[in-house]
Amino acid sequence: MHSRDLAVKLKGFTAGLPGMTVPVPKRNIGWGADIAGFQDRENRLGMSISSTSVENARIVLQIDNARLAADDFKNKYEMERQLASSVEADVNGLRILLEELNREICQLQAQVENLQEELQLMKRNHGEEVNALQAQLGARVNVEVDAAPSADMNRALSEIREQYENLMERNLREVETIFRQRTEELNREVASGSEQLQSVQTEVIDLRRTIQTLEIELQSQLSLKSALENTLAETEGTFGSQLAQLQCLINNVESQLTQIRSDLERQKQEYKILMDQKTHLEMEIATYKRLLEGHDIQYVFHTGQVTELIFFKICRSCGHNAIWEVWHL
């Protein structure tokens, strides 16, 4: 009776084992498909993030290049402005020198006029003195002629007048020569100063044009820099929100993957436990079958959750029962 009940229970338990173990791999197949979909989505998100990072790096590189170009143009502008200031200072110095030369020319012209006036005055005084001497000598000559003959005073006066005139002419020629030399030197200096001034003015005009061109280029580079910075800000704002959404989605996917992995691990442990139980039961069934073929079970004890099976072996010579083995279930 006990053997028949035990056989029925074992048969029912072994029949229920396939139903208990089959759903586990079926559910694993569905979860594996879900994991593959999540992995594909994660790969696409990673590729999108990589392309976005490359685009951000390219825009940052363009902004750095524009900033370097703007700094270069700024340095060139500062150098050109310093050079223009130096040239303007040279022009101002040449203008001051030209004004000084003009003042010296005016002074020399005034001196020449004064010398000419003095020469005319000396000539006039000389004529008056000669006339006065001639008048005095003429009166004396008349008196002396009446009284007695004397030396020829007219010839002496002529010699004196000739010497005086020669001296005046020599002084005048020397003054005119000095004035002419000084005037020529001043004219050469003025011409050289005018040429230098013209050259400096031309250079100043070229520098101003260069400065204007550099200012225009600097403004264009600054405008380009501002536009690139605005583009970078817009791109960072757009891709920042997208990256935040993608990061949130990635976090959700990772949390789901973590949950799926934990579920798979738990189901794997459950499946392992069930397989161990199945193996243990199969071993027990095999043992029971082997025992049932040549032995008889006399007692079954239930103590809490532990079941004791006591196997008795029948002695064929004497017919008595002997305890052969005890199993705890």
Domains of the chain, residue spans: 2-294
User: Which of 9-13, 19-23, 75-79, 107-111 bottoms out in mean pLDDT, i.e. has the lowest?
Assistant: 19-23
Return the DSSP state at 150: -
Directed axis angle between helix 2-21 and helix 23-147, to 10°?
30
Instruction: Locate all alpha helices (DSSP H) within the chain, ordered by sequence.
Output: 2-21, 23-147, 153-294
pLDDT of 10 > 60? The answer is no
Cα distances (angstroms) measured from residue 228 to each of 54, 57, 65: 16, 13, 11
Averaged over 12-37, what is the pLDDT? Answer: 52
List, in sequence order, every residue forming a beta bridge with 300; answer none if it has no partner: 309
Nearest to 43 by CA among 255, 253, 256, 260: 253
pLDDT of 108 > 70? The answer is yes
Q: What is the pLDDT of residue 141?
A: 44
Cα distances (angstroms) measured from residue 231 to each of 33, 37, 65, 220, 226: 42, 35, 15, 16, 8
Q: What is the pLDDT of residue 273?
A: 92
pLDDT in tens, 238-268: 777 877 888 888 888 888 888 988 999 999 9
First-to-final CA distance of the chain: 19
pLDDT in tens, 120-179: 887 787 777 777 777 766 554 444 444 444 446 677 777 777 877 787 788 778 877 887
Q: Which residue has the higher pLDDT, 271 or 58?
A: 271
CB 173 within 8 A of CB 156: no
pLDDT in tens, 286-329: 887 877 765 444 444 444 444 455 555 444 455 444 545 555 55
Q: What is the pLDDT of residue 269?
A: 92
Averaged over 18-41, what is the pLDDT? Answer: 54
User: Does CATH number 3.30.70 belong to domain 2-294?
Assistant: no
Q: Which residue has the higher pLDDT, 92 or 138?
A: 92
pLDDT of 76 > 70? The answer is yes
Averaged over 169-197, what is the pLDDT? Answer: 78
